Amino acid sequence: MWHFFPGKYMPSYQVNRALTQAHYGGGEFAEILEAAGNIDPDNRETFNIAWLNKGNEVYGWAEDYENKNAFVSARRTYLRAFNYLRTAEFFMNLQDDRKIPTYLKAREAFIKATKYFEEKPIQVEVPFEGSFLPGYLFKPKGVKNPPVMVMFGGLDSLAEELYFGIGDHLMERGVALLAMDGPGQGAALRLNHIHSRHDYNVAGTAVLDWVLENLKDEVDTTSVGIAGVSMGGYMAARCAAFEPRFKVCMIFGAVWSYYSVWAGRSGKHPLAEIVQHIMGVDSYEDVLKKLEGYTLENGVAEKISIPTFIMHGGGDKQNFVEHAITLEKHLTCEHKMKIVPEGESGSQHCQVDNFMPALDMFDWIAEKIHA
């Protein structure tokens, strides 16, 4: 992976993340590099300010386009503003008064952009344990009742973010995307205060039941798949194991045991406060205790009966490749695995350094869900 900040993995990873999403409308290379150039990788506040300033600037441009009825330009500019503001919010600590307002402005930018989509997404609210899980249904243009992939993001993902790249590649293949904020994610966490849970299949089943009941006129309810990216690789596998009504499973970054991921870290890790937030606990020790249930061990993986694709990077520094190798050994269902060899472009976490090796995954998923 290219390091904008030599020797500094995490801030460099975030720059690569934004650059990858820029291919799909989530940024502009020059703007991203300009923001990155204002960051001191050893000073987290400079990260927050650089992305916040750029996001606010671009948001203002989007408003100007909208006021001039230049709606195509407004759409493109709001999408960029969303991603810069999302990046700004990422490392703001929970006590930062800017965190929730920045998240709300990012979400607003995305929703404003969708007003000017040619195929307008449908905002959904899936009832869940006295509250709801929010999401968006993105449909491919000109396809009547397409199959649909229900998808959860990762530890730090927002449902809106799944549109960039993942949504494009599915829709190009005639597959709709139902991007969801599950427990511990996006608005479900920040606004509805729904924390993460090891039995993510409860959320997966709730979403599937809602799709079957409410989206019969929008998608092919006989062809509903499940997907997850990063930590979502655990979520998708867990849902597939306990909900065989899904037709296919897409694991975009495998997680065999999320406890083992964090047991090898410490409370000083850059993402430690984020994982405490999603779990709803106050200490790193409590995080580790909760994470003991986040595993595909003890026969969980063997329960997966639907066709499953595992995509992983051989150089993944966040969820090591051994997670994918172990999971694949335990699968008894029809499955395929692609590992990008370490050192090659696309070998980092969830192919943030090159999305193109994931094309094989999208082709395979499309073939199985259309079958």
Q: Which residues are catalytic?
A: 230
Residue matched to tokens 């991603």: 83
CB-based contact 347:314 (threshold 8 Å): yes
In terms of Cα–Cα distance, which of 300, 304, 310, 278 is closest to 291? 278
Helix, strand, coil percentages for the chain (3-state, nearest 5): 45, 15, 40
Contact of 29 with 19, CB cutoff 8 Å: yes
Q: What three-state secondary structure class fits 334?
A: coil
Neighbour order of strands in the sheet with 148-152: 122-128, 131-138, 176-180, 148-152, 224-229, 249-252, 308-313, 335-340
Beta-ladder partners of 340: 313
Contact criterion met (CB below 8 Å) for 16 and 1: yes
CB 351 within 8 A of CB 340: yes
Query: Nearest-5° angle of CA 168, CA 141, CA 250?
Result: 40
Angstrom distance (rounded) from CA 245 to CA 122: 23
* Angstrom distance (rounded) from CA 17 to CA 295: 27
Strand boundaries in the chain, DSSP class E? 122-128, 131-138, 148-152, 176-180, 224-229, 249-252, 308-313, 335-340
Instruction: Give the span between the Cα atoms of 183 and 185, in whole angstroms.
Output: 6
DSSP structure class, residue 97: T
- Cβ-proximal residues to 229 (8 Å cutoff; 6+ apart), any chain: 151, 152, 153, 154, 157, 162, 166, 252, 253, 350
Closest CA to 227 of 339, 346, 362, 87: 362
